[in-house]
Amino acid sequence: MPTGITVPLEKWYVASIDMSAILSQYQVYTMTNSTGLFHMSVVNLTEWSHDKQHTGLNFGYFSSYSNVKIVGPTLECNGNMIHLETKSPQLSYIWRSQSTGDEILSTQPYIDINRTDRFYLTSLTPNGCSATDSIDVEFILPEINFPESINLCPGELYTLQAPTTHADYQWSTGATGTSLDLSGIADSQSQIWLEVTDDLGCTNRDTVDIIGYPGAEVNLTIGSEPLIPGTAINVCMGDTIFNTTPMAHYRWELDGQVIQSDANYLIPQQGGIYKLTAWSPDSCNTTIDINITVSPLPEFDIPDIIGCPNTSQVIQGPANAVSFLWQDGSTTSSYNATQPDTYWLKITDDKGCSAMDTIIYSWHPQSIIDITYDTGIFGTANPDSIYFCPENPIILNAQDTYNNYLWSTGETNTSTISVLVPSNQTQIVWVQANDQNNCIITDTVTLITYESPMIDLSNAPSSICLGDTIFNTTNNAKTQWEIVGQPIDPTQTNNYFIPTNTGTYDIRLTVWNTENCGTIQTKTITVNPLPDINLSNSTICANTPTNIIAPAGMANYLWHDGTTNQQYTATEEGEAWVSITDINGCINSDTATISWFPQPVVDLSIYSPIVGADIQP
């Protein structure tokens, strides 16, 4: 109650209260003082009880008369203003804040603020004392604190939970509870917002992006064939089941056991229900069951083949196969291999399982059989043809290390034959045999005979005279004359022959053509001597006739003047020759010189002593 004491700027009051009730209930007794300036004395009777009748006295004195008090709310919704003031008159006012330091924000008894901070008021009291007060002010929003975004896998459930201490909730979906249940939708993006109001009436809104990941995707194939989920799958041993959609992580299971991780494929080794779990790069996963039956591969083995050179070989596939595929794309059950190479066959059985085998087809080393020849003196050859002179049998030889010889001329089981080919003719001869691998080997030659060189002594006389010439009338590359039984004279290589010996004997003529083929002809000839003649030279008196006589018994005489008598009468100086022919037709001749003795000279002139005088007879 007012005391009635009057002091400028002050009001005095006195009050009493029984504190026992308050103390027993641990309550606070509050007195309101709008200015914050006061003097207060408290007398407290303590330790009193009915049974003990014991009393204690405590005295306290409190005063804020030299202080300043900041009055105003300490909480406000974010976005509003708070008005702080002091209601006790002061001589001066300085407002500062913790965040701004010594910066003076105001010098008025009040200040309006809109931020959370600690504010200080320093004043000069009416009694000239400095007083300070501070107050913590907080601008609040109802807390939500949603994440910026939530990523959900397809079908994933998520509860978006807000704090439960607010007074009101309004979701963008129309819901009004403290939480919202979400379910992931593949490849989607949306926004959810929540607006809350707290007990002070402050509102706040938060927005979250809901992102639906694509999720894990499983697309199984065997080779290029897609597998239909949920259906039983028959695979062949060694087949690979692929997930063709790239995922980040995989796990394959059989009968609860993990059999393979981190691989997008599986090679089943046994039948059963397999479980595949795949994780996408966003860690979304999906799991599927696969009922797999594993069939064994067909078994077959075609041995490698070695054949004879230049022969083909039929490679036969197994009889129990349903389909065939050879390396060249053909699909018949057999394949005709014509060249040494590596061949392969892929077969498929009635369960669709395939197996492959590789076959190497090769040839035995090529054996060589060569026809060689022996022609004696005449003949030349090249690898394919044999040229030789006619009328000379040629011996053809093949290696004798083979079996079952067969010649085109009809001979068998022999490596050597003799062939005679007429002049200027061609004949092809081949031989066939079996080598050590029982492969047939052949060789062929062409036999060509040259044309025989021409020779003809039939027109040469059988009886000739010494010095006569025997001619070969044909043209040849080389000629050799010889007398049978005598050493060959290497100079007798002309196309004619002049005997140097008389008598009857055989001459032989051998001629060769440009191919060095020779022909020989022999002829018996009689070489008659020439008739003897020896005319004597004569010296006679001038103008005196003289007779020159040739040998008697000649068949014919021929003198230089054309007369044909045995003798010739010479009447002048000079030469006289005669040609005589004997009964064999041999001709010889000789010449005689006829000269005169010198005639005596008679000089009948007269000698004159007179010089220059000419005396005539």
Q: How confident is the model at residue 276 (pLDDT cuts 50, 70, 90)?
A: very high
- Enter the CATH code of domain 75-140: 2.60.40
Q: Are 244 and 219 in contact (CB under 8 A)?
A: yes
Separation CA 96–CA 264 (nearest Å): 68
- Number of Cβ atoms within 10 Å of the Cβ of 297: 16
The DSSP result for 363-393, as a single string, is E--------EEE-TTS-EE-SSEEEE-TT--
Residue 171 pairs in a beta bridge with 194
> Taking Cα atoms as reference points, which of 527, 377, 550, 378 lies closest to residue 448?
378
User: What are the φ and ψ backbone dihedral angles of 23, each rounded to 5 degrees?
Assistant: -65, -35
Separation CA 234–CA 351 (nearest Å): 8
Report residue 226 as tokens: 């897609």
pLDDT of residue 587: 95
Asked whether residue 535 carries a pLDDT value surpassing 70, the answer given is yes
> H or E stretch including 21?
helix 20-25
pLDDT of residue 30: 58
Separation CA 298–CA 378 (nearest Å): 69
Q: How confident is the model at residue 230 (pLDDT cuts 50, 70, 90)?
A: confident
Q: How confident is the model at residue 375 (pLDDT cuts 50, 70, 90)?
A: low
Please indicate whether the domains covering 75-140 and 220-295 agree at the CATH topology level.
yes
Separation CA 268–CA 265 (nearest Å): 10
Q: How confident is the model at residue 26 (pLDDT cuts 50, 70, 90)?
A: very low
Asked whether residue 172 carries a pLDDT value surpassing 60, the answer given is yes
Separation CA 168–CA 152 (nearest Å): 27
Within 198-238, strands assigned E span 203-212, 220-222, 225-226, 233-236
Number of helices (H), then strands (E), belonging to the chain: the values are 1, 52
- Enter the CATH code of domain 532-617: 2.60.40.10
pLDDT of residue 27: 52
pLDDT of residue 347: 96
Mean pLDDT (whole number) for 269-282: 93
Asked whether residue 18 carries a pLDDT value surpassing 80, the answer given is no
- Per-chain mean pLDDT for the chain: 86
Q: How confident is the model at residue 416 (pLDDT cuts 50, 70, 90)?
A: very high
pLDDT of residue 613: 47
Choice between 617 and 505, residue whose per-residue pLDDT is larger: 505
Sign of the Cα torsion 88, 93, 96, 101 reads negative
Report residue 217 as tokens: 């995707």
> H or E stretch including 92?
strand 92-97
Separation CA 467–CA 584 (nearest Å): 14
- Digit-coded pLDDT (tens) for 465-509: 998 998 887 888 889 999 998 888 888 888 889 998 999 999 999
> Taking Cα atoms as reference points, which of 371, 512, 390 lies closest to residue 451?
390
- Digit-coded pLDDT (tens) for 178-199: 999 999 999 999 999 999 999 8
Sign of the Cα torsion 564, 565, 566, 568 reads negative
Name the fold adopted by 372-449: Immunoglobulin-like (2.60.40)
Name the fold adopted by 463-528: Immunoglobulin-like (2.60.40)
- Enter the CATH code of domain 220-295: 2.60.40.10
Angle at 288 between CA 286 and CA 294, to 5 degrees: 145
Q: How confident is the model at residue 423 (pLDDT cuts 50, 70, 90)?
A: confident
pLDDT of residue 59: 52
Strands 587-596 and 538-540, sheet pairing: parallel
Q: How confident is the model at residue 601 (pLDDT cuts 50, 70, 90)?
A: confident
Separation CA 318–CA 345 (nearest Å): 10
pLDDT of residue 378: 44
In sequence order, which residues have a C-beta less than 8 Å from that of residue 151 and are 6 or more positions away?
Answer: 211, 213, 282
Q: Residue for token digits 């045995």?
A: 566
Report pTM: 0.44
Report residue 299 as tokens: 């078994």
Distance (Å) of CA 431 to CA 29, 398, 400, 427, 453: 144, 8, 12, 13, 31
Mean pLDDT (whole number) for 100-106: 95
Q: How confident is the model at residue 14 (pLDDT cuts 50, 70, 90)?
A: low
In sequence order, which residues have a C-beta less than 8 Å from that of residue 6 and are 6 or more positions away?
Answer: none
Q: Are 156 and 286 in contact (CB under 8 A)?
A: no
Report residue 163 as tokens: 């704090």
pLDDT of residue 19: 59
Residue 511 pairs in a beta bridge with 479, 519
pLDDT of residue 377: 42
Residues of 535-556 as b/e, b for ≥16 C-beta within 10 angstroms? Answer: beebeeeeeeeeebebbeebee
Domain spans of the chain?
Answer: 2-63, 75-140, 149-212, 220-295, 305-363, 372-449, 463-528, 532-617
User: What are the φ and ψ backbone dihedral angles of 314, each rounded to 5 degrees?
Assistant: -85, 120
- Digit-coded pLDDT (tens) for 312-365: 999 999 999 999 999 999 999 999 999 999 999 999 999 999 999 999 999 999
Q: How confident is the model at residue 50 (pLDDT cuts 50, 70, 90)?
A: low
Within 130-256, strands assigned E span 130-140, 149-152, 157-161, 168-171, 179-183, 188-197, 203-212, 220-222, 225-226, 233-236, 241-243, 249-254
- What is the side-by-side order of every strand in the sheet holding 341-348? 305-307, 354-363, 341-348, 323-326
